[in-house]
Chains A and B, each alone.
Chain A
């Protein structure tokens, strides 16, 4: 099947080459045909999507439509959708039907795009392999034995295979960028506060950010405009105008400075990935960018800092899941304490439990200063490192992951080695910076990603760099072989 970019679909609709109803129907056919190999969707929204496509077609025929009218998209199952099950891939929320739409979903709805379904993910976004999902792992379309990464693994696999053109993800420590790298697509985590967190089920509130997984920077630019902006319902959302990201895609990057943090190019990166990244960097040089080595001296503390901050916040954020007002409820509990413990024991998977336990521990009496407060201070150090670096350079480039996609089952029993997956991505969450991963080459038929990090609210720059790169290369156009038939 042909993987369509969002750009292409918009063109087809505007030229009346295809109707929204046909488009929606094509994607549902693809999902039916391929998703049992991938397990990338948890819930489909077929009936409603088909209805909406008919309405969209009327608008299109009347010439009264917007850029995204009638375009299908998918959402990670972490965004609350009114009347549509939102599970966070947890048994705890297996039957949870939100009575409201998250702000991001609402904004996209207003832009005219049509929600096709809710994608699989690591439970409560806690994981880097999509194996912690209550609904089973997602399989990487490049190699079904392998993980697509996580936690936005369902969105990544669906976009990479071509069964959806674009999908929402969330990124707390790399949950968009790592799966994008593992599946050979483009993924953007915007600046913290750029997109509203209202209605996005919280994992770690000071790190979570909504973002996108798509085939190209151009597609992301178009969609990001629709889902960004200030939200009075989210105190942490930023009152900063949303630029027309598409307008700056073609800007020249000649004379811009790219910093390569020496801490990102050390032994932990495998040699093949290193070689491929270097080729990618040469392309940026060819585009006129100046390359310089920089140092982020404290970035090595990112993983431990993250696991203190994220776990602490999650231990508190997930305290609300008690089965009383919503969520899994065991009907045979003898007292209140038993009610809490049974619902949470059965409702949560092991990884979620580990994070809650770690978070509870680091916040508990006698440990707060040594762990939580210390981590907050180190977070400041890391943030300062970036601030210093951006005085010298326009953009920072590094790897997205240490190596290409690993096998399912390979790391699941060793949490610490799993956590090390996020070694390059976590620091931008800690500092709230926008970051993007795009395909930069292949190793052993598996895609490798390159990560771009920019100062706060410089998403346009990430998209601009990536777009020019994608004009020069075709890594982003390569498709997983197994999904090429028909």
Chain B
């Protein structure tokens, strides 16, 4: 039988609020256990939640960016279940009437075409704390710093039909929330994670099969691998004529397999009901208008603008715009360096990105500023330093606090562009290698490279290569005339 894969994703995005969704404690990551858990986060008797304004604004931003409807009235509900890292015994979430619904987003598939993925809803909720099972011998340790962290849960329709599409969608949403600055999208810290609902059905069928839900996937690679594994697992079951069990599964990245989470298998009945401590959120049209006005330029617009305004090659524009941090760096760079935008793009993509990839760090980890980079670019542009020297300077720039000029000065890396100086060296080289000179003059032009090499060697690579080339040709010409 031929099977068709049906996937829907629930992506949990941690919103970039300073304080928690219902309390005033900090959302900062990595603080000592339970130092950021206020009475509200701890679910103390008598305390009450008050909603964070920014969380609402961020949810609306997202909704507008995916052409969704923003609910005029949305409500919070309690999802009731017991777990030690859920202090109140319920999670405040949205069930009926989420703040955002009926959106969609286009994702690239097969490199060329686009596919529209419908977004059922996006709702606000609070995160739970953390249970740590390897801290004590006979006990689990509970850290409630994360409890109450604002989340936006983005639920797609089951419109995804392969692991690649799922990953592409996840990346697209990741890019979007980073563009909107509503999340840092940090996947290691759990700020961006997803649950995947996967089912198979006979090709061409309209009926959904029984699904399994894979919980807490925190990388684009893992989402693909987990889905691939799960599809194969379900295929094997269905091919045998058996049926898939509806259950929650966990992806183990070390073993590359999904497995049933038996502990959560107990029939759960969350007993959702409207939270009586919180009132309906009413979103006024004016607020939506205001937020709409402040929406930043998004990926597609950025790429178009780079091509039109800066005449940059499309492939480079896409590469730069992929990551908002790089795009912002680029824009700051060309704010200071206006000589040649394509040259700036080239330098950013090859030199700077090369460095980042080699060191495995992100652009936001860099201490180097865009105007220092622009200065360096300017030196390259003006032939003060060569491209190869620029590489060394960049490394120095990143690793020290020195300015471009200081580095060039200290290291003597300045390009030799003095005509007289280069002429003298060229003359010297021609005299030193008469055989090669004659070979060239008799038509063996490839010998030129050897002669250039000798000049560069004599100047420790600092001679302006363009000038060396030009002067060498001139001098050889003079030799021929003689």
Contact = CB atoms under 8 A, between A and B. Distances in A.
**Do A and B have CB atoms closer than 8 angstroms in the complex?**
yes
Interface of A: 79-80, 86, 88, 93, 96, 98-100, 102, 197-202, 204-206, 232-236, 312-313, 315-316, 318-322, 324-326, 336, 340, 360, 363-365, 368, 372
B209 interface: no
Nearest to A92: B45
Contacts of B82: 319, 322, 340
5 contacts: A206-B276, A319-B82, A320-B87, A363-B80, A368-B271
Given A233-B50, A320-B88, A322-B82, A86 B273 contact: no
B46 A312 contact: no
B89 A320 contact: yes
A472 to B, nearest CB: 40
B187 interface: no
Given A316-B90, A324-B142, A325-B43, A197 B84 contact: no
Contacts of B279: 235-236
A315 B277 CA distance: 14
A314 to B, nearest CB: 11
A312 B269 contact: no
B462 interface: no
A319 B51 contact: no
B413 interface: no
Contact of A100 (B39, B50, B88, B271): B39
Interface string B350-389: 0000000000000000000000000000000000000000
Given A235-B278, A324-B84, A324-B142, A197 B271 contact: no
Which range holds the interface residue count of chain B? 20 to 34
B42 A235 contact: no
Contacts of B51: 235
Nearest to A78: B46
B39 A99 contact: yes
A317 to B, nearest CB: 9
B269 A325 contact: no
A425 to B, nearest CB: 19
Nearest to B49: A235
Contacts of A340: 82
Contacts of B49: 235
B277 A205 contact: yes
Contact of A320 (B43, B140, B278): B43
A321 B82 CA distance: 10
Contact of A205 (B80, B87, B89, B276): B276
B44 interface: yes
A116 B14 CA distance: 46
A211 to B, nearest CB: 16
B3 to A, nearest CB: 31
Contacts of B78: 316
Nearest to B39: A100
A397 B341 CA distance: 82
B48 interface: yes
B47 interface: yes
A86 B45 contact: yes
B271 A316 contact: yes
Contacts of A96: 45
Nearest to A202: B46
A228 B46 CA distance: 17
Interface string B69-101: 000000000101010100111100000000000
B48 A325 contact: no
A336 B82 CA distance: 10
Given A98-B46, A197-B48, 16 more contacts: A80-B45, A86-B45, A100-B39, A198-B47, A198-B48, A199-B46, A199-B47, A202-B45, A235-B48, A235-B50, A316-B78, A319-B89, A320-B88, A321-B45, A360-B271, A372-B273
